[in-house]
Amino acid sequence: MAEQKGQPFSVRFAKGTDLYMEEEARRLRRSKSSIVEEFAEETAKLRRFPGIIFHGGTVTERRAHVVGTGLDVWELCMLVDDYGSAEAVVEDFPKVTERHCRLALAYRLAYPDEIDSFIAGNRRPLDEMEALYPWVDWSAARQRAGG
């Protein structure tokens, strides 16, 4: 379900910012307003969750990342799920602190669809992954899975 939109309003950017927004819209073949909305949403998330950054290309590829851990938010949340607690994750991953885990879990609570879709994609059965990506050598994954 699409999120409801607020009331429209007018905004004027500095020339350099406006030029950049127009170029992004042209490059991505999207409307300038959708580019501005994407930038505003990402910036709001950055300010709301200090310690989170975003990386990746297009809007569908961009992922929330926990600074200093080497992990995306979804990866850290999945680890907490799998290990059963943040404390257990911290014990096994020296770069990860309880604060990192709290931050990732808080982000997931605010944006569950975003994070849970990445986790679901990672948990696809091996047979499905092989069908989707037949050019990948899945032999190591097969060995780990005992097959």
pLDDT at 58: 67
Residue 120: per-residue pLDDT: 93
Question: So what's the pLDDT on residue 9?
Answer: 84
User: Distance between CA atoms of 102 and 141, rounded to whole angstroms?
Assistant: 30
Structure tokens at 131: 């069908």
The pLDDT value recorded for residue 144 is 80
Calpha distance 109→143 (Å, rounded): 35
Output the pLDDT for position 125. 87
**Average pLDDT along the chain, 147 residues, taken 10 residues at a time:** 79 94 92 91 95 83 93 96 96 96 98 94 87 87 78
Q: Where exactly are the structural domains of the chain?
A: 14-48, 49-144
DSSP 3-state assignment of 52?
Answer: strand
Give the number of other Cβ atoms within 10 Å of residue 125's Cβ: 9
Element at 71 (helix H, strand E):
strand 71-72
